Amino acid sequence: MDTHRYCVIMAGGSSPAAYLRMTYDRFAGFLPRENILVVTLEKYAGTARILLPELPEENLLREPLGRKTAPCMALATYSILARDPDAVLVVSPCDLVIRDEGLFAQTVEKMFEYVEQHDVLMTLGIVPKNPDVNFGYIQVKEGKNAWQLEQPLQVKTFTEKPPQELAEVFFRTGEFFWNSGIFLWKASVIREEMERYIPDVTELFKGWETRIGDPAFVERAYAECPKISLDYGVMERTERAWLYPAKFGWADVDRL
């Protein structure tokens, strides 16, 4: 196992607790367990400890307040960079159901291999089964046959949960994927893009190199953090966005 490969599980607390255990086990099957971190709200930290007793204390990152995914990613990125400047991260919410764990692991392995050689922000794209308005959509530049490809694709646009009419257009083109919420990138590259596009978040973490492990430092940063998603703050604006098509079964817990 590559010691520079990490996983960040975003456990907001709204999903059934058992999914955190399932998500952890999914990634522990092919990543070093000591490199798996969980980010959750302070009020859910006790539950996370019960579900994952083997998780090292320093791998449980506690958010004092809910501020959406951009501050969450800043906390995780700076925490990992402080221990490993060469880290490469796969980031996943804990509310996903994966129906072919073996194929999932193979897909993430291919994503790791690509990202380790290229300074891109990679997202895992799901081939739409229907024009569902409950998912974000990602358009790629490779055109209408993109769904059939098994290679990294360059992102053209991100669209958050479109209205039905637009979702039907997206579905017919063959150029759009559902946004799975799973990302993969070098820690150094997501740091660069966050500091470029959401400085109102990253400026609050100045001094992270020596203080990111201090709860008081994190609490002060979060107290002033805007509520902003990583998709809106970075992924919709960056020129480094790429997508890898998923061929395995996938579902969002909220949509089961």
d(CA 132, CA 128): 8
Q: Are β-strands 88-93 and 5-11 bridged in parallel, bridged antiparallel, or unpaired?
A: parallel
Q: Which domain holds residue 180?
A: 5-255
pLDDT tens digits, the chain, 256 residues: what are they?
Answer: 689 999 999 997 666 678 999 999 999 999 999 999 999 999 999 999 999 999 999 999 999 999 999 999 999 999 999 999 999 999 999 988 898 899 999 999 999 999 999 999 999 999 888 999 999 999 999 888 788 788 999 999 998 889 999 999 999 988 999 999 999 999 999 999 999 999 999 999 999 999 999 999 999 999 999 999 999 999 999 999 999 999 887 776 555 4
Output the pTM of the full model.
0.93
Q: How many domains does the chain have?
A: 1
d(CA 47, CA 44): 5
Q: What CATH number is associated with residue 14?
A: 3.90.550.10
- 157: buried, middle or exposed (CB in 10 Å: 19+, 13-18, 0-12)? middle
Task: Output the pLDDT for position 14.
Answer: 62
- 171: buried, middle or exposed (CB in 10 Å: 19+, 13-18, 0-12)? middle
Task: Output the pLDDT for position 256.
Answer: 44
**DSSP secondary structure string for all residues of 116-179:** HHS--EEEEEEPPSS--TTS-EEEETT-TTGGG--S-EEEEEEE-S--HHHHHHHHHHS-EEEE
Q: Is 222 helix (H, G, I), strand (E, B) or coil?
A: helix
CA angle 241, 244, 245 (to 5 degrees): 135
Residue 58 tokens read as 């320093």
Which CA distances in Å does 149 have to 106, 119, 167, 171?
16, 21, 21, 16
Amino acid at 109: E
Which CA distances in Å does 70 have to 1, 95, 151, 202, 239?
28, 18, 27, 9, 17
